[in-house]
Structure 1
Amino acid sequence: MDQPYDVYQDRCPTRMVLDRLADKWALLILDRLRDGPVRFNHLRRDIAGISQKVLSQTLKKLERDGLISRQVFPTVPVTVEYALTGLGRTLTDTVAALAHWAEANMDAVLAAQKAYDSIVR
């Protein structure tokens, strides 16, 4: 049976999903949630450099895509916790591999950039 979607077609809705997953903030959030639910402020502290606005926007997009769930606790102040959904959990190994590949291979990437820049100049 043929797949109903083709990522190589410009109007395919899979492009939106790929765009979301190619976002560094989305990858970091998904990877951070792999060990269990996390509160909003904890995510903000854990992911250095992300603003409150960008975190909020990214969480809403991931929730809309069905990758994370949001639970509100009636405390003062209100506590909000995020967790991976079943669909989101299908991405955990892929997301972790991609995020941590960057850590493991950064020296090689920097060396390649330096070599390239010395030739191009």
Structure 2
Amino acid sequence: MESVRRWGPSVAVNLVLGVVAVVPLWLSMMFAANYPLAELGLTSREPTDNDGMLPWAMLLAPLWAAFLALWIPVNALARPESGVSTRRYWAVGSGLVLTPMAVLMTLFVLVDG
């Protein structure tokens, strides 16, 4: 019960921030599919995308900067003080932030077929 009390706020904060992170993660996935993976021949590019990479960079850089500017200080405040190594906490926090995106992608694959 003590571990739930220590980890509860951190888990909740990271899952809520994971919902916020869906937007930059999804856009990063779209960027990767349209440019680097398409150049490697693993995906096909969007046929109507003829603007190049600059609009993507202008969109993704501020989104990730804003998310990280929110995520890092909030996690620094939510980190339990006793018994948790810094490396382990940030690894678990990163995994929890990715959880909502993984759930949404799984649902998308299951529904879309």
Question: With structure 2 as the length reference, what TM-score do the two structures score?
Answer: 0.36
Question: With structure 1 as the length reference, what TM-score do the two structures score?
Answer: 0.34
Tell me which protein shows more helix as a share of its residues.
2
Where relative contact order (Cα < 8 A, 6+ residues apart) is larger, the structure is 2
Tell me which protein shows more strand as a share of its residues.
1
